[in-house]
Structures are given as C-alpha cells and as structure tokens.
Amino acid sequence: MTYQNIITIEPDKRGGKPCIRRMRITVYDVLGWLAAGMSHAEIIEDFPELTEEDIRACLEFAADREHRLAVSVGAA
C-alpha cells in the first residue's frame, strides 16, 4: 500500500490540508481520533466511508512526513 494513492491535497478543500480520497476528512482528523483513543473499528463505525486502508494511509503519511522533517532538520 502507498498513501499517495489515498491521500489527496486540493488547495480549495479544507484549506489545502491532506484529505482522504478527495473527501473532506483530513489526515489530521483521523490522527486526532486515534490519539484520543478511538480504535480503527470505532472510527469506521462513526465514518463508514472510511476503510482500514484509509486509516493506515494516514499513519503512513504521518510517518513519512515526520521522517522528511527529521531529515531536513538534520541537514541544517
């Protein structure tokens, strides 16, 4: 799986924040729900348009973004 096929960024949607499959649900929304203690099953129950793959893509996106940030800070 690769998050590039799931996470979309559109300047006119949600202020250009990374969203899931062109929906209005952002990566930040999903990460916030996970951080608040929601399980994947609870998120999907509340938002049935999401899939396990969508949630994993959000985690992969966040991990990749963190890695790129660490690399750019280390290069400075």
* pTM recorded for the entire structure: 0.85
Fold annotation for 3-75: Arc Repressor Mutant, subunit A (1.10.10)
Span 2-56, pLDDT tens digits: 899 999 999 999 999 999 999 999 999 999 999 999 999 999 999 999 999 999 9
Spans of all domains in the chain: 3-75
CA distances from 37 to 27, 32, 34, 75 (A): 16, 9, 5, 34
Rounded Cα distance between 12 and 62, Å, is 22
